Structure 1
Amino acid sequence: MTDTYNYDDVKPVQIRSDEPELCQILYDDEYEHTMGILLALMRDKEYSERALHITEQGIELLASHYTIWYYRFEILTTLNKNLFDELDWVEQIALENQKNYQIWNYRQLLVEKIIESGADFSPYREYPLLGEMLEEDVKNHHVWSYRKWLVERFDLFHAPKEVSFVNSKIDEDVRNNSAWTHRHFLLFGKPSLVDETLVNDEVEYVKMKIELCPQNASSWTYLLGIYRRAKKPLGELHEFCLQFANGMAESESTADTDESQDKAEVKSSFALEMLARIYVEQKEIAKAKRAYTLLADKYDPIRKNYWEYQKSVIV
Structure 2
Amino acid sequence: MPPKTKASSKVPNPEPRAAPESPPDTIAQRSQQRFFQTNPIENRRQQVGLSALTPAEKKTYAHVNLIHPAVNRRVPFSNKTEREFWKFVTKEGLPIRRLPRDYAWGKDRSGRDIGTYSPDELEQRTLKHAKLTSLQIQHRQFLKKREKQLEVTTEEIAAEKTRRKAMAALKRDLYGEITGSLAQDPEWDDVIPIPQNEPEGALAQIAYPDDYAEAVSYLRAVMAADECSPRSLRLTEHVISMNPAHYTVWLFRFKIISVLKLSIPDEITWLNEVALSNLKNYQIWNHRQLLMDHYYPLIEEDTATVRQLARSETQFITKMLESDAKNYHVWSYRQYLVSKLYMWTMSELLSTQNHIEEDVRNNSAWSHRFYLVFSDPTASTPGSGPTEADPRVPAETIDREINYSKEKIDLAPQNQSPWNYVFAVLTKGSRPLSSFKEFAEKFVTALGEEAEEVRSSHALDFLAKLYDEEGDKEKAELCLRRLGEKWDPVREGYWKYRVTLLKSGQSAKE
Does the pair score TM above 0.5? Answer: yes
Residue identity in the other structure for 1:239: E
Q: RCO (CA 8 Å, sep 6+): is it higher in 1 or 2?
A: 1
Supply the distance in 1 between the matched residues of 2:478 and 2:202 (Cα, whole angstroms).
Answer: 59
1:255 maps to which residue? none
Supply the distance in 2 between the matched residues of 1:133 and 1:151 (Cα, whole angstroms).
Answer: 17
Supply the distance in 1 between the matched residues of 2:413 and 2:470 (Cα, whole angstroms).
Answer: 24
Supply the distance in 2 between the matched residues of 1:191 and 1:106 (Cα, whole angstroms).
Answer: 26
Residue 230 in structure 1 maps to residue 429 in structure 2: yes
RMSD of aligned residue pairs (Cα, Å): 1.8
TM-score, normalised relative to structure 1: 0.90
Secondary structure of 2:476 counterpart:
helix
1:290 maps to which residue? 478
Task: Give matches, 1:1-315, under 5 Å.
Answer: 1-2=181-182, 6-17=187-198, 19-118=200-299, 120-121=305-306, 122-157=309-344, 159-190=345-376, 192-193=378-379, 194-248=393-447, 260-312=448-500, 313-314=502-503, 315=505
Cα distance, 1:310 vs structure 2: 2.5
Supply the distance in 2 between the matched residues of 1:221 and 1:29 (Cα, whole angstroms).
Answer: 50
Cα shift readout 1:258-306 (whole Å, capped 9, x = no counterpart): xx42132211111111111111111122222222222122211222232
Cα shift readout 1:50-89 (whole Å, capped 9, x = no counterpart): 1111111111111111221121122222222211011000
Secondary structure of 2:454 counterpart:
coil
Secondary structure of 1:308 counterpart:
helix
Cα distance, 1:242 vs structure 2: 1.6
Supply the distance in 2 between the matched residues of 1:53 and 1:288 (Cα, whole angstroms).
Answer: 63
Q: Contact (CA 8 Å) 1:38, 1:54: kept in 2 or not? A: yes
Aligned length in residues: 303
Highest Rg: 1 or 2?
Answer: 2
Supply the distance in 2 between the matched residues of 1:142 and 1:310 (Cα, whole angstroms).
Answer: 32
Cα shift readout 1:80-111 (whole Å, capped 9, x = no counterpart): 22110110000111111111111111111112
Supply the distance in 2 between the matched residues of 1:156 and 1:204 (Cα, whole angstroms).
Answer: 24
1:251 maps to which residue? none
Q: Contact (CA 8 Å) 1:5, 1:50: kept in 2 or not? A: no
Supply the distance in 2 between the matched residues of 1:117 and 1:210 (Cα, whole angstroms).
Answer: 45
Structure 2: state its 5+ residue gaps.
1-180, 380-392, 506-510
Supply the distance in 1 between the matched residues of 2:492 and 2:190 (Cα, whole angstroms).
Answer: 67
2:87 maps to which residue? none
Supply the distance in 1 between the matched residues of 2:377 and 2:253 (Cα, whole angstroms).
Answer: 38
Cα shift readout 1:2-35 (whole Å, capped 9, x = no counterpart): 4677000100011153723222211222112211
Q: Percent identity?
A: 38
Supply the distance in 1 between the matched residues of 2:376 and 2:196 (Cα, whole angstroms).
Answer: 48
Q: Which has the higher helix share?
A: 1
Structure 1: state its 5+ residue gaps.
249-259
